[in-house]
Amino acid sequence: MDFAEKKNRLRVLLGASRVFQRKGYAKTRMEDFVEESKIGKKTLYEYYPNKEEVLKAAADYRQNKAAFRLKRIRNNSALDFSKRFVKMRKELLDVCRPSHFALWKELQDQIPEIWRMVKAKRVQLIDTEIESLLEEGKKLGEFRADLRPDLFIMALIACSDAVYKWEQNPTERRANISELDNIFLYGIIRRGNETLKSS
State pLDDT tens for residues 63-110: 888 889 889 999 999 999 988 988 887 777 665 555 666 787 788 888
Mean pLDDT of the region 161-173: 58
Residue 29 within any structural domain of the chain: no
Question: Per-residue pLDDT averaged across 31-56, rounded?
Answer: 94
- 142 in a structural domain: yes
Domain hosting residue 157, numbered range: 51-186
Q: Is the pTM of this model over 0.75?
A: no
Total domains, the chain = 1
In a domain, 136, yes or no: yes
pLDDT at 101: 67
Instruction: Decide which of 184 and 20 is more confident.
Output: 20
- Is there a domain that residue 10 lies in? no
Burial class (CB within 10 angstroms; exposed 0-12, middle 13-18, buried 19+) of 54: buried
**Mind giving me the DSSP string for 109-160?**
HH-HHHHHHHHHHHIIIIIHHHHHHHHHHHHTTSB-TT--HHHHHHHHHHHH
Question: Does residue 21 belong to any structural domain of this protein?
Answer: no
Number of neighbouring beta carbons within 10 Å of residue 81: 18
